[in-house]
Structure 1
């Protein structure tokens, strides 16, 4: 059993170590202009799980050489070749009837309503309570960050 001073010192050291670590930031990418195959292992010899369509946002969880382990909006994880992903950012609407507004305010004019699973381009990657997005039809506005996945 550890003495009380040792336990307190261990706890304080652990807290200081955690406080000095950089804040964790999510790394999101988008499937590039061509669809990519998602595998169960970091190899083209692995089992093919899914074909990810162009524009699909993914969260990069781990990099391993030319491969990245990614998570999709449903939480499923798989491996993809890193070269098939783009730094361009897209998000997926997570709720039915999400409103894209002219300004980042609840009382701003509604420019469009987006259904669940609609793909939107992330115009400004700075995440706050609102994010600026653009629909493929050209409509650009603000949506609540809590209503989309990919930021």
Structure 2
């Protein structure tokens, strides 16, 4: 009895760590973010093409999303793409040729720059591609959208 309660408690504690966050990116056109799941709701702001958004919940053809600043809003599912992007959150984030600080710096990205996520399974360093074609690695804590 005590062992089964202990095991159940451990599973509850471990469950959130095993849950993977769901991210999508704004598709080929900008999308409007609303305060409710309806075009009759108040328009909060326009999300630019490629912006990563965390999917919080789904309601029919609408999704509740969280942006890099933690703001919650609703948008239509059809405006989002499965393509994964990240956005730089650290000013002057360095994109390296390899997954370590000693490798050549290929570029420096300002806060807010959107990068395509090439390898979503990486942990400490993530492989990214800039729209200019530069392919490299950035520290995962320098970007948002993972």
Query: What is the TM-score with the length of structure 2 in the denominator?
Result: 0.91
Question: May I ask how many residue pairs the two structures share in their alignment?
Answer: 145
Q: Name whichever of 66-75 and 15-24 sits farther off.
A: 15-24
How many angstroms apart in 2 are the aligned matches of 1:136 and 1:20?
A: 38
How many angstroms apart in 2 are the aligned matches of 1:53 and 1:137?
A: 18
Task: After TM superposition, give the deviation of residue 89 of structure 1 in Å.
Answer: 0.9
Task: After TM superposition, give the deviation of residue 47 of structure 1 in Å.
Answer: 1.1
Tell me whether 1:95 sits opposite 2:90 in the alignment: yes
Tell me whether 1:12 sits opposite 2:44 in the alignment: no
How many angstroms apart in 1 are the aligned matches of 2:7 and 2:126?
A: 38
Say which of 15, 23, 39 aligns to 2:34. 39
Query: What is the TM-score with the length of structure 1 in the denominator?
Result: 0.88
Q: Point out the structure with max Rg over C-alpha.
A: 1
SS at match of 1:106: coil
Tell me whether 1:107 sits opposite 2:102 in the alignment: yes
Runs ≥4 in structure 1, deviation > 2 angstroms? 8-14, 19-22
How many angstroms apart in 1 are the aligned matches of 2:137 and 2:108?
A: 11
Tell me how large the CA RMSD over aligned residues is.
2.0
Matches within 5 A, 1:70-89: 70-89=65-84
SS at match of 1:125: coil
